[in-house]
């Protein structure tokens, strides 16, 4: 495996590459300090300032160190750092506004849930589970589907066997296989003492 910070065509121990990386590191630290100072003054709080500074630092280092030969230092580090910081703050504010909109939407859902007769989330989950179960039942072989439909309708094994003209053991096999496909317990559907 090659050196991930080495540009293709460079020698691993190239002194000019080492000098270039040292220069990039120096400029990076300068910009990092300016970013941190600007964000501490202008971010909503210290936590946001730290998060944005770290994010910008990682992105800049990744971009600059990935191709040291092509790196061009920003001509005015103070202006560059402030521009990066303003962009990050604007993006952060937009993200916060989007988040507030999402929270408002969730609060609207909560109001709908309180107005409904049942628990809105439980209804959605139940509906989704029922849709998935219906799809699985539709994909069952015809005989297994018939056995399962009669089982959940409350028929016992002997009634199903007589209705479909199959052995009781075959009914048990179809019930077991259908239950495995659905991931459900047969206990609510089967007769006692099986």
Q: What pLDDT is stored for residue 1 in this prediction?
A: 41
| Tokens matching residue 77 | 């580090």
CATH number of 120-182: 1.10.10.10
What is the pLDDT at residue 162?
Answer: 94
CA separation for the pair 49, 132 (Å, rounded): 45
Q: How many residues does the chain have?
A: 194
Q: What are the residue boundaries of the structural domains of the chain, listed by start?
A: 15-113, 120-182
In this structure, are residues 57 and 28 in contact, taking their beta carbons and an 8 Å threshold? Answer: yes
Q: Look at residues 49, 52, 60, 67 and name the one whose alpha carbon lies nearest to residue 27.
A: 60
pTM score of the predicted model: 0.47
Q: What is the mean pLDDT of each run of 10 residues along the chain (194 residues)?
A: 49 76 92 92 90 89 86 89 90 81 60 51 63 81 90 88 93 86 61 42
């Amino acid at each position: 495996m090659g050196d991930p910070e080495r540009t293709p065509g460079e020698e691993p121990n190239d002194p000019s590459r080492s000098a270039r990386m040292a220069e990039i590191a120096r400029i990076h630290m300068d910009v990092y300090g300016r970013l941190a100072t600007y964000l501490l003054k202008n971010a909503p709080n210290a936590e946001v300032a730290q998060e944005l500074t770290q994010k910008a630092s990682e992105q800049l280092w990744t971009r600059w160190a990935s191709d040291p030969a092509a790196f061009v230092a920003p001509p005015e580090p103070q202006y560059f750092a402030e521009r990066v910081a303003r962009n990050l703050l604007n993006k952060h504010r937009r993200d916060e506004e989007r988040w507030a909109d999402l929270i408002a939407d969730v609060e609207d859902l909560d109001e709908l849930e309180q107005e409904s007769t049942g628990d809105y989330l439980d209804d959605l989950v139940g509906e989704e589970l029922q849709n998935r179960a219906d799809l699985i039942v539709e994909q069952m072989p015809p005989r297994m589907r018939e056995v399962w439909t009669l089982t959940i309708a409350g028929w016992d094994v002997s009634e199903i066997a007589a209705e479909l003209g199959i052995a009781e053991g075959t009914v048990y096999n179809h019930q077991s296989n259908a239950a495995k496909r659905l991931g459900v317990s047969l206990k609510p559907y089967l007769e006692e003492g099986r």
